[in-house]
Amino acid sequence: MLLAAWESDRIVQLSPSHVRLLDQARLEALAAARAETEALSKRLQAQYPDTNKGFAFELVPLPERLVGAIRPVLWMLFAAVGLVLLIASANVANLLLARGAARSRELAIRAALGAGRGRLIRQLLTESLALSLAGAALGALLGAWAVSALPLVAPDDLPRLSEIRLDPLVLLFTLAAGVTTGLVFGVAPALQATRRSLSGAASDASRGSSTRQGRLRGGLVVAEVALAVVVLVGAGLLGRSLQRRLTVEKGFRPEGVLSFHLNVFELGDDAEARARATAEYLAEFRTDVEGFVALEVVESCVGDHREMLPVAGVTYRAFVDPSGGSEDSMTLAVAHKTTAPDKRVIVDAVREVRPPFSPSAVVDDFAVLLKSYRVSKVVGDHYGGEFVKEPFRKNGISYEVCKQPKSDLFRDMLPLLNAGHISLPRHDRLIAQIVGLERRVSRAGRDSIDHAPGGHDDIANAVSGVVASASGVGSTFSVFWV
């Protein structure tokens, strides 16, 4: 468990010993950890009053954090199910007593033929176990159907709803419950049925059950009724509590009010969509983050082309963004500037190769595209150094290292986008990366432009670099990787 006061230059982390203590769920360890984090919170408030004033840490065990609100309801449901199981078991035991009385002559004959009382008890317990295990199997089948139907009727805020399933531990508990129920509630009928001797059973066969058996059956009936009353009273109280909960005064009028929950991780594997959603959220609730450019502005600059063919007599520029990390793409952009009267920058081609890949093979593919546009020099990031420069040189293309950071390249591209002086290819990831950029203001007041946390800007880097190179903005251009 990590506790952090996140600023650009500090992170606070609990020691591993406290993590182990929390995992042990001991009250003493939790109290000690809470005392230390409270002291840590006060120190941070004193050291960083501008950002940490009014903020404190709270340690909550993970099980309580996940299912703390629903745990009492689950225990109540478990108790209700247990009472229903007891009622059903008592009812079955009563039926077994009646069946044992009806089989008294059969048992007496078995005993006369040499069967001992232990063997007769084992036979009756086997029948009781078979009955209880059949019920357990039927319950497991009904449970599997109920679990599959639960997401259709359960509330959306039910914790860990997607993880509810019949795992081996649940099946093992069902088996143990079936065996225990069969043994516990089958012993009394088996002992009662085998208590009488052969002569006693034969003489009692015509008179019915003995007085002792009648008292036992009466006790089971009383227990059934008592448990049923408890279940009915509990159900009534639960329904009354629910009715009061639904009619409680909320302090406001809920008519016409809409509430919703936003979780950017529910957007699936689309990293660009998560980045855009995170950027919009931060721009809404943080004063130091704002969007770089509106989607409408970018879409107004998108042309009808995906990739334009080379044209004779046109001078093309190229910009490459080498892969700077295991999750970064290697990108290339080619563009040219039209002549008067519009003087627009046309981004002719955009190439992206996602990891994993061989950098040398990617450079060879990029070189083929560059030569088709008659480009003999490519501008790009200095991070790759000789690693990128040498493969391009072997393909007859020089690699020029630039010094302008990517934040400046994005900033220089913004007025061209707003004025509509750029024609972008119809490339969904390019559009998403440009829109996902965000402008941040550091505590020192420095303005920077970068992708949102968890996002990427490899294609946007290459396009902003080639736009700056083709438009003549700045002097030397480069792209920095993240």
**DSSP-assigned states of every residue in 223-248:** HHHHHHHHHHHHHHHHHHHHHHHHTS
Asked if the structure places residue 278 within a domain, the reply is no
Residues 421, 316 share a domain? yes
Same domain flag for 25 and 76: no
User: Are 226 and 307 within one domain?
Assistant: no
Distance of CA 437 to the CA centre of its chain: 25
Please state, in angstroms and rounded to a whole number, the distance separating the CA atoms of residues 280 and 299.
18
Round the CA-based radius of gyration of the chain to a whole number and report it: 38
Task: Confirm whether 257 is domain-assigned.
Answer: no
Largest CA distance in the chain: 122
Asked if residue 189 and residue 106 are part of one domain, the reply reads: yes
367 within some domain: yes
Considering the domain architecture, whether residues 162 and 232 belong to the same structural domain is answered as: yes
Backbone phi, psi, residue 290, to 5°:
-145, 160
Alpha helices in 103-210 (DSSP H): 104-112, 117-153, 168-193, 198-204
Q: Is 328 left (phi over 0), alpha (psi -120 to 50) or beta?
A: beta
> For the chain, what is the domain count?
3
Residues with Cβ within 8 Å of residue 219, at least 6 apart in sequence: none
Cα 122 → chain centroid: 51
What pLDDT was estimated at residue 22?
Answer: 44
Strand partners, 334: 318, 349
The beta-carbon contacts of 412-419 under 8 Å, at least 24 apart in sequence, are 412/464, 412/467, 412/468, 412/473, 412/474, 413/463, 413/464, 413/467, 413/468, 414/292, 414/293, 416/345, 416/467, 416/471, 417/293, 417/297, 417/298, 417/301, 418/293, 418/297
Cis-peptide, bond into residue 72, ω within 30° of zero: no
State the pLDDT at residue 21: 45
Nearest-5° Cα angle at 337, 336 to 343: 160
Q: What local confidence, expressed as pLDDT, does residue 325 receive?
A: 61
39, 59, 79 - which closes a domain:
59
Nearest to 62 by CA among 89, 29, 22, 95: 22
Same domain assignment for residues 357 and 326: yes
299 and 447 housed in the same domain: yes
476 found inside a domain: no
Q: What pLDDT tens digit does each residue of the chain (482 aa) get?
A: 333 333 333 334 445 554 444 455 566 777 777 788 888 888 877 877 776 777 777 777 777 777 777 777 778 888 888 888 888 888 787 777 777 777 777 877 777 787 787 888 888 888 888 888 998 899 889 888 888 887 777 766 677 777 778 888 888 988 998 888 888 878 877 777 776 544 454 455 444 445 555 676 677 677 778 877 877 887 777 777 767 766 666 666 777 777 665 554 455 555 556 555 655 555 554 555 567 788 888 989 998 888 999 988 899 999 998 866 667 888 999 999 988 777 889 999 999 988 888 888 889 999 999 999 999 999 886 555 557 788 888 899 988 877 788 888 888 888 888 888 899 999 988 998 898 888 877 655 567 788 877 778 889 988 988 998 888 764 433 333 32
User: In terms of domains, do 446 and 331 share one?
Assistant: yes
- DSSP annotation of 293: S
- According to DSSP, the residues that pair with 404 across neighbouring strands are 477
205 contacts 104 by C-beta, under 8 angstroms: yes
Same domain, 230 and 105: yes
In the prediction, which pLDDT does 96 show?
A: 77
Same domain, 467 and 321: yes
Report pLDDT for 301. 92
CA–CA gap between residue 88 and residue 81 (Å, rounded): 11
At 12 the pLDDT is 43
- Residues 54, 82, single domain; the answer is no
DSSP 129-151: HHHHHHHHHHHHHHHHHHHHHHH
Report if residue 258 sits inside a domain. no
CATH label of the domain that carries residue 368: 3.30.420.240
pLDDT computed for residue 6 by the predictor:
35
pLDDT of residue 345: 92
- Whether residue 141 is contained in a domain is answered as yes
* Containing structural domain, residue 236: 71-246
d(CA 320, CA 350): 10
